[in-house]
Amino acid sequence: MSPAVYALIITNVLVYGLEKLMTYGVILNFALWPLGDLPTGGGDTVELFRPWQLITYSFLHDPDSIVHIVLNLYALYAFGGEIERTLGTRRFIWMYGASVLAAGITQLIVVTMAKESGVAPTLGASGGVFGVLLAFGLLFPHRRVMLVIPPIPMPAWVLVTVYAAIELANGVFGSRTGIAHFAHLGGMVGAFIALSVFGYKRFQDTRRG
């Protein structure tokens, strides 16, 4: 694994272990909470949002579901290493950070405006992972990739387009509640902005096959 991808995976695993030990305190302080006063259940309200949560949420995962962290870290492992080796570690970190931040801002806007969404916090590396997925599709558009379910080979740019369309449809029509679909799209936007600043076309591998 490349250095940044390795560090991200190790950090996520360590934080997951900390969550298992101190679930309430970690999620209360470092998951991404909506803006404004939130009901406590006893008739009072409390402001839980803190600015650092726009980054720290991406290192947290559902402590009751190991599948959540496994899927995110597997995707980061599968796609992130080659992107980091192509862009360089510093650019990769900036791109990943931009994805996480854009995803967090997008989710913050969505959950703050959607009053019916309740007070559940947002957590998970998915925003950064979707940014990595977009970067792979842009840098290696014709690279053949294989879906796990169903096992269909396709060019990377097709995979990215399909995933973006699915997330947009799920977000608009409200299907599969509990998943931050617009945050995933925000992560893609953040990655695209960072890659455009880098001039990603000079790193692009457009070979077919």
Residue-level pLDDT at 173: 55
Burial code of 146-178, b = ≥16 C-beta within 10 A, e = fewer?
eeeeeeeeebbbbbbeebbeebeebbeeeeeee
- Separation between Cα atoms, residue 61 and residue 59, nearest integer Å: 7
Show the tokens assigned to 111. 């959950």
pLDDT value for 36: 77
Domain range annotation of the chain: 3-203
| Domain range 3-203, its CATH number among 3.40.390.10, 1.20.1540.10, 3.30.360.30, 3.80.10.10 | 1.20.1540.10
48 backbone dihedrals φ, ψ, rounded to 5°: -105, -15
Q: Do 31 and 119 form a contact (C-beta atoms < 8 A)?
A: no
Q: Express each pLDDT in 184-205 by its tens digit.
A: 889 999 999 999 999 988 998 8
- Among all chains, which residue has been given the structure tokens 């402001």? 47
Give me the pLDDT at residue 204, please.
85
- What six digits make up the tokens of 7? 């560090």
Residues of the chain with pLDDT under 70: 39-43, 115-119, 148-150, 167, 169-178, 209
The conformation of residue 37, written as its DSSP 8-state character, comes to E
Whole-angstrom distance, CA of residue 99 vs CA of residue 187:
4
Q: What is the gyration radius of the CA atoms in the chain, in angstroms?
A: 17
pLDDT reported for residue 150: 66
**What pLDDT does residue 174 have?**
60
pLDDT value for 145? 83
Contact status, residue 184 vs residue 126, Cβ threshold 8 Å = yes
Reference 18, options 6, 9, 27; nearest CA is 27
Check residue 38 and give its pLDDT: 72
> Please, are residues 124 and 68 in contact by the beta-carbon 8 Å criterion?
yes
